[in-house]
Amino acid sequence: MIRRLLASLMLLAALAPLPARAVQPDEMLPDPALEARAREIGKELRCLVCRNQSVDDSDAPLAHDLRVLVRERLVAGDSNDQVVAYIRSRYGDYVLLKPPFQFDTWVLWSAPALILLAGLWSVGRYLRHQARMAGAPPLSADEAERLARILDEKPGP
């Protein structure tokens, strides 16, 4: 029994998905320093087809084109910032996995804090309501009798 369990666990570990690297060997630059810079830039850029996947991890044709473009710009002598600026000028801020904090992205950056504050406010209101209800005095005998009569009354025609 234990052998089967261990064999099953080993099989699952062997078949566990590993991070896929979509960079093809024909895309790689011969210079290791430039290739490392290209990989660094590729991790910052979003695949416009796959969404929330970097171009370095995507197999989409557009991601391939972006990886080739990054390498072409690096070979041409551009710095990392110049390459990102060039691609950003062509595809907009959406191509960045971490968009900058600007006027048009303030909602994106502030939404988590606003949701957290709204949740805390709601919990606070609920707790105050519960405390107020727990502090209410019990009904007196007269009030209980009157409530029972009101509940027993049948509505008229």
Q: Is the pLDDT of residue 4 over 80?
A: yes
Distance, in Å, from the CA atom of 86 to the CA atom of 107, rounded to the nearest integer, reads 25
Q: What's the pLDDT score for residue 63?
A: 86
Residues 45, 70 contacting (CB under 8 angstroms): yes
Binned at pLDDT 50, 70 and 90, residue 93 comes out as confident
Can you tell me which residue has the tokens 């430039």? 34
Q: Report whether CATH 1.10.8.640 matches the domain 18-100.
A: yes
List pLDDT tens digits, range 50-64.
878 888 888 888 888
Of 2-16, 21-35, 58-72, the range with the highest mean pLDDT is 58-72
**Residue 98 carries which side chain, given as an amino acid letter?**
K
Q: Where are the domains of the chain?
A: 18-100, 104-152
Q: Is the pLDDT of residue 34 over 80?
A: yes
CA atoms within 13 A on the CB side of 58: 23
